[in-house]
């Protein structure tokens, strides 16, 4: 059987890292790239092609027969796509159907989050999309391997709005000692590549670069940056849930409060991993929060 791996979403931050990690391991990789990508993404793809990446043009919303031709002889299909329900649900379901048609044996969906198996509809609308997609291809005739990483370091330090460098604060909701699962994008890619190359990988795999509370995260960011930050508690997990509901009543755009939804999934403990699979791939040595911040400074 072919060991080729097909990657959708290769022009994204995570997808490009997954392709790179696979190439580092000597894997044969084919990537689906939409026509007309911008110059920066084109340059990144060209650099990966110079390392052996095979590129085919197309989109996961293409007709399944055409998409199956793009997948070709790949044994494993990895999805690192991002977008709305048209991509995460409809597009990924279409990708699975095409993978079946092409004869692929495994599919790794674009989950990459807290423990989606423990959440309920309404806890986080973006994770709801992933749960809907999983329900749609649950009976697919291939092995679905879900890779979960908790929250990205990059998201914790950026999109979440937790750290305010100008004001010198690090703000959070909930119990400051509630453990959180956190992983860098690069380490998530390394674990995903390891799973894609592991013929025994199955089910849901959970990885964390570091398990640390908000209090520990605060201390790690201070150590890594060499800066003092005031740790501010904005309220309890229940108060956070109430704030999310309040904002939902005020706006029709759920992206206005999705960062709070992700925080609630974490600080409530509902999205916490019960176990970790890091030991399955000892060749991956994840970076700590402090070292990540230090390298990013």
> Is position 34 within any domain?
yes
> Is position 165 within any domain?
no
* Residue found under tokens 């920066």: 40
In this prediction the pTM is: 0.96
On the question of pLDDT at 292 being above 90, the answer is: yes
Q: Which pLDDT belongs to residue 69?
A: 96
Residues 208, 281: Cα–Cα separation, whole Å: 12
Among 178-182, 193-197, 293-297, whose mean pLDDT is lowest? 293-297
On the question of pLDDT at 2 being above 60, the answer is: no
> Is position 263 within any domain?
no
Residues 40, 59: Cα–Cα separation, whole Å: 19
* Residue found under tokens 């501010």: 232
For 133, the domain range is: 5-149+184-208+273-281
Exposed / middle / buried, residue 133 (Cβ in 10 Å: 0-12, 13-18, 19+)? buried
Closest CA to 8 of 84, 103, 130, 110: 110
Q: What is the pLDDT of residues 122-138, one digit of tens each?
A: 999 999 999 999 999 98
The token duo for 50 is 């110079």
E strands of the chain, at which residues? Answer: 5-8, 29-33, 54-57, 76-79, 106-108, 143-148, 151-152, 163-164, 169-172, 180-183, 203-206, 210-212, 230-233
> Is position 136 within any domain?
yes
Q: Which pLDDT belongs to residue 1?
A: 39
Residue pair 188/207 in contact (Cβ under 8 Å)? The answer is yes
DSSP 276: -
Going by pLDDT thresholds of 50, 70 and 90, the confidence category of residue 3 is confident
Closest CA to 54 of 88, 111, 6, 21: 6
Sequence-ordered list of residues with C-beta below 8 angstroms from that of 18, at least 6 positions apart, any chain: 7, 10, 78, 80, 189, 192, 193, 196
Residues 294, 222: Cα–Cα separation, whole Å: 9
> Is position 252 within any domain?
no
> Is position 39 within any domain?
yes
Q: What is the pLDDT of residues 7-24, one digit of tens each?
A: 999 999 999 999 999 999
Q: What's the total number of domains in the chain?
A: 1
Q: Side-chain half-sphere of 266: how many Cα atoms within 13 Å?
A: 27
Q: What is the mean pLDDT of residues 46-65?
A: 94
Q: What is the pLDDT of residues 76-102, one digit of tens each?
A: 999 999 999 999 999 999 999 999 999
> Is position 64 within any domain?
yes
> Is position 164 within any domain?
no
The average confidence (pLDDT) of the chain is: 96
Residue 31: which CATH number?
3.40.50.720
Three-state DSSP at 246 gives helix
Percent of the chain past pLDDT 90, that is, above it, reads 96
Q: Is 13 left (phi over 0), alpha (psi -120 to 50) or beta?
A: alpha
Q: What is the pLDDT of residues 228-272, one digit of tens each?
A: 999 999 999 999 999 999 999 999 999 999 999 999 999 999 999
The pairing of beta strand 210-212 with beta strand 169-172: unpaired
Sequence-ordered list of residues with C-beta below 8 angstroms from that of 266, at least 6 positions apart, any chain: 114, 150, 151, 174, 178, 180, 272
């Amino acid at each position: 059987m072919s060991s080729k791996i097909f990657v959708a979403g290769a022009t994204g931050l995570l997808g490009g890292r997954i392709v790179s990690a696979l190439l580092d391991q000597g894997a044969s990789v084919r990537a689906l790239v939409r026509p007309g990508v911008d110059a920066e993404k084109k340059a990144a793809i060209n650099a990966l092609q110079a390392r052996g990446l095979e590129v085919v043009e197309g989109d996961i919303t293409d007709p399944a027969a055409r998409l199956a031709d793009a997948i070709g002889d790949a044994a494993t299909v990895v999805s690192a796509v991002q977008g709305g329900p048209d991509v995460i649900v409809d597009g990924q379901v279409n990708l699975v159907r095409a993978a079946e048609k092409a004869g692929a044996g495994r599919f790794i969906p674009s989950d990459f989050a807290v423990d989606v198996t423990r959440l309920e509809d309404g806890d986080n609308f973006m994770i709801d999309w992933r749960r809907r997609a999983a329900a749609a291809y649950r009976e697919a005739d291939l092995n679905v391997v879900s890779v979960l990483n908790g929250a990205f370091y990059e998201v914790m330090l950026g999109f979440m709005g937790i750290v305010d460098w100008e004001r010198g604060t690090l703000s959070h909701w909930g119990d400051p000692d509630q453990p959180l699962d956190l992983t860098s994008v690069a380490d998530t890619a390394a674990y995903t590549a390891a799973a894609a190359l592991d013929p025994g990988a199955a089910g849901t795999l959970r990885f964390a670069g570091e398990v640390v509370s908000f209090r520990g995260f605060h201390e790690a960011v201070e150590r890594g940056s060499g800066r003092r930050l005031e740790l501010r508690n904005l309220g309890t997990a229940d108060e956070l849930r109430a704030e999310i509901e309040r904002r939902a009543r005020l706006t029709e755009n759920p992206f206005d409060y999705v960062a709070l939804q992700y925080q609630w999934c974490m600080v409530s403990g509902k999205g916490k991993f019960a176990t970790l699979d890091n030991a399955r791939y000892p060749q991956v040595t994840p970076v700590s929060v402090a070292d990540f911040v230090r390298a990013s400074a």
